[in-house]
């Protein structure tokens, strides 16, 4: 006897029972239920059900839907066990009860039995200043089957995602972490995911159908890290996996949204930085300062945030935009440079902030490498606009960007499209201002783009266009930036290169 909630099923007698009393069920409806039972909790397509229940007969899909409705009515309060996977088919979501009685459960090898429920690496350092973000991510995962953490390079997407995954291990049958940063070709994405889910033992030809079958309908959380360079493939795979299993949750990290169905986007913010006029206690309460001081102690145990150094630490955190990667690299230089010299060297940040861990991915060992990684995935139009809008020191509106960046090779429509792309890829920050949107670059991103502007040979003409627009329209929010200052900054950018 097979138990589905409160209903008992006898395949031999082809009968359903509720509290020992037989339930009337039609022949076709029972055939459908038997197909679902023998699938052992796996998805069965509509076509497969129609083929097996109505062999050599053409039947409308609506007929299948009627019998599914009848089965759900018989199950009563347990109707939810029969899951509809939109556009794909049905599954019976009680594999443990069913597989144990029908003998359809696949035997596991010794290696499979020894696999842990989670391969998420343990956290050896506290996640500073992310309490609210962690709560927001967990709430998003509870509400949506696919959540993407989006943000600039070095903003801490991976660490936030890992901490969320660790905190949810007890709620899932299985939690798997897959790092896609090492995937060199888009067509290798599926194999990389399969290997991550199988503990590195995936062999032979891998298809999405294989993954769907391997996952079954287990309550599973999968974290796909660093998706931006294989984003098209990841979006497609995620859609299919989510459609196949109502108990599956996917947490992705990317510098831009996957733009997949079912996706909920969470934009990871930078850590909190102090204002220029903040008092000592207010500075020390900021999460960016907390992280910097904590990491500086690791590299220089004698380091103390006292006296004049507190204000200088606030300056470092502010100028590095509260980006965890930049703060980590800066903290690593405290032992050699001291706080005062480190602040003085920030104008040459790409030469100074290079001391990342040797075991870290190449793009996380230097500040410039992190930006190079993002820059390489921009189209030519986006690269050009990013370089040209680097002349804006503060916030600006779209019309200002169009006026300054529009040379003979780009029109306003091109620039508008590029601005949207830069926002999507987390290189350009945005915020509403009344009925308009304002944009600004992180200081580090702006310094990098200024360097690219100098190397392009366009710095003089773009600065002049900026000066002219500012004098005639005054569209820049921060109007303290002068042409002379811009020339000084582009000169420094050239020295950095």
**Confidence class of residue 251 from pLDDT cuts 50, 70 and 90?**
very high
- Is 384 in contact with 410 (CB distance < 8 Å)? yes
- Is 253 in contact with 155 (CB distance < 8 Å)? no
Task: Give the three-state DSSP class for 204.
Answer: coil
For residues 374 and 120, give the distance between their C-alpha atoms in angstroms, rounded to a whole number: 26
Q: Long-range contact list for 195-204, CB < 8 A, 24+ apart?
A: 196/119, 197/222, 199/111, 199/115, 199/119, 201/111
Burial of 246 (0-12, 13-18, 19+ CB in 10 A): middle
pLDDT > 70: percent of the chain: 89
- Is 15 in contact with 22 (CB distance < 8 Å)? yes
- Is 219 in contact with 173 (CB distance < 8 Å)? yes
Q: Per-residue DSSP letters for 432-461?
A: EETTEEEEE--HHHHHHHHHHHHHHT-HHH
Tell me the mean pLDDT in the region 473-482.
47
**Does 56 score more than 80 pLDDT?**
no
**Does 120 score more than 80 pLDDT?**
yes
Task: Give the three-state DSSP class for 74.
Answer: helix
**Confidence class of residue 481 from pLDDT cuts 50, 70 and 90?**
very low
The highest-confidence range among 154-168, 183-197, 294-308, by mean pLDDT, is: 154-168
Look at residue 200 in the predicted model and tell me its pLDDT.
57
**Reported CATH class of domain 374-496:** mainly alpha
Look at residue 424 in the predicted model and tell me its pLDDT.
95
Question: What is the biggest distance separating any 2 CA atoms in the chain, rounded to whole angstroms?
Answer: 90
**Does 476 score more than 80 pLDDT?**
no
**Confidence class of residue 497 from pLDDT cuts 50, 70 and 90?**
very low
Look at residue 101 in the predicted model and tell me its pLDDT.
45
Partner residues linked to 251 by β-bridges? 147, 223
**Confidence class of residue 41 from pLDDT cuts 50, 70 and 90?**
confident
- Measured from the Cβ of residue 460, the count of other Cβ atoms closer than 10 Å reads 12
Look at residue 485 in the predicted model and tell me its pLDDT.
44
**Confidence class of residue 199 from pLDDT cuts 50, 70 and 90?**
low
Look at residue 2 in the predicted model and tell me its pLDDT.
83
Look at residue 313 in the predicted model and tell me its pLDDT.
96
- Is 438 in contact with 401 (CB distance < 8 Å)? no
What are the CA-CA distances from residue 159 to residues 128, 156, 166, 328, 343 (Å)?
Answer: 10, 5, 10, 13, 27
Look at residue 203 in the predicted model and tell me its pLDDT.
57
**Does 106 score more than 80 pLDDT?**
no
User: Residues near 296 by Cβ (< 8 Å), separated by ≥ 6?
Assistant: 303, 331, 334
Among the residue ranges 69-73, 381-385, 435-439, 472-476, the one predicted with the least confidence is 472-476
Task: Give the three-state DSSP class for 36.
Answer: helix
Residue range 2-102, CATH number: 1.10.10.10
Q: Which H/E stretch holds residue 271? A: none
Tell me the mean pLDDT in the region 392-400.
93
**Confidence class of residue 114 from pLDDT cuts 50, 70 and 90?**
very low
- Measured from the Cβ of residue 40, the count of other Cβ atoms closer than 10 Å reads 20
Residue range 131-266, CATH number: 3.40.50.300
Higher pLDDT, 14 or 1: 14
Among the residue ranges 68-82, 113-127, 430-444, the one predicted with the least confidence is 113-127
Tokens of 323: 């980006």
Tell me the mean pLDDT in the region 249-267.
96
Q: How many helices (H) and strands (E) does the chain have?
A: 23, 15
Tell me the mean pLDDT in the region 352-366.
80
What average pLDDT does the chain have?
A: 86
Reported in sequence order, the residue ranges of 206-257 that DSSP labels E, i.e. its strands, are 220-225, 248-254
Tell me the mean pLDDT in the region 13-38.
89
Where does residue 41 fall: left (phi above 0), alpha (psi -120 to 50 degrees), or beta otherwise?
A: left
For residues 405 and 390, give the distance between their C-alpha atoms in angstroms, rounded to a whole number: 10
Higher pLDDT, 157 or 13: 157
Among the residue ranges 221-230, 304-313, 465-474, the one predicted with the least confidence is 465-474
Q: Per-residue DSSP letters for 154-170?
A: TSSHHHHHHHHHHHTGG
Name the residue among 272, 321, 327, 317 with its Cα closest to residue 295.
327
Q: Report the length, in residues, of the chain.
A: 497
For residues 213 and 495, give the distance between their C-alpha atoms in angstroms, rounded to a whole number: 56
Look at residue 94 in the predicted model and tell me its pLDDT.
57
Residue with tokens 């399969």: 194
């Amino acid at each position: 006897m097979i138990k589905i909630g409160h209903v008992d099923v006898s395949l031999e007698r082809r009968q359903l029972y509720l509290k020992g009393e037989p339930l009337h069920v039609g022949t076709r409806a029972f055939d459908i239920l038997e197909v679902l039972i023998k699938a052992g909790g796996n998805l069965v397509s509509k076509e497969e059900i129609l083929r097996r229940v109505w062999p050599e007969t053409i039947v409308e899909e609506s007929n299948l839907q009627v019998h599914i409705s009848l089965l759900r009515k018989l199950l009563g309060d347990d109707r939810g066990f029969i899951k509809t996977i939109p556009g794909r088919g049905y599954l019976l979501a009680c594999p443990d009860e069913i597989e144990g009685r029908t003998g359809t459960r696949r035997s596991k090898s010794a290696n499979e039995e020894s696999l842990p429920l989670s391969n998420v690496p343990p956290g050896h350092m506290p996640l500073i200043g992310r309490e609210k973000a962690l709560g927001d991510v967990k709430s998003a995962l509870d509400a949506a089957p696919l959540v993407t953490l989006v943000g600039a390079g070095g903003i801490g997407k991976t660490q936030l995602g890992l901490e969320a995954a660790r905190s949810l291990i007890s709620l899932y049958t299985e939690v798997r972490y897959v790092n896609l940063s090492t995937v060199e070709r888009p067509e290798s994405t599926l194999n990389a995911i399969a290997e991550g889910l199988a503990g590195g033992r995936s062999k032979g030809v891998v298809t999405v159908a294989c993954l769907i079958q391997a996952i079954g309908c287990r309550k599973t959380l999968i974290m796909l890290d660093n998706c931006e360079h294989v984003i098209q493939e990841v979006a497609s795979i995620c859609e299919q996996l989510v459609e196949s299993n109502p108990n599956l949750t996917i947490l992705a990290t990317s510098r831009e949204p996957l733009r997949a169905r079912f996706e909920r986007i969470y934009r990871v913010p930078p850590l909190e930085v102090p204002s220029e006029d903040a008092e000592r206690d207010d500075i020390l309460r900021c999460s960016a300062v907390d992280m910097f001081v904590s990491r500086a102690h690791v590299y220089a145990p004698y380091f103390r945030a006292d006296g004049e150094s507190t204000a200088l630490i606030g300056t470092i955190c502010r100028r590095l935009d509260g980006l965890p990667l930049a703060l980590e690299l800066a903290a690593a230089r405290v032992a050699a440079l001291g706080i005062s010299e480190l602040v003085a060297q920030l104008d040459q940040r790409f030469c100074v902030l290079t001391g990342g861990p040797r075991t870290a991915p190449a793009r996380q060992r230097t500040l410039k490498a992190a930006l190079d990684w993002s820059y390489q995935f921009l189209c030519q139009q986006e690269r050009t606009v990013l370089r040209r809008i680097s002349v804006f020191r503060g916030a600006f509106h779209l019309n200002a960007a169009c006026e300054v960046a529009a040379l003979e090779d780009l029109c306003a429509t091109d620039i508008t499209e590029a601005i949207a792309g830069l926002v999507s890829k987390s290189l350009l920050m945005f915020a509403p201002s009344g009925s308009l949107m304002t944009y600004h670059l992180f200081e580090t991103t702006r310094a990098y783009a200024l360097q690219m502007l100098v190397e392009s040979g366009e710095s003089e003409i773009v600065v002049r266009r900026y000066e002219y627009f500012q004098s005639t329209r005054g569209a820049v929010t921060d109007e303290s930036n002068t042409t002379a200052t811009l020339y000084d900054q582009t000169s420094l950018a050239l020295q950095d290169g």
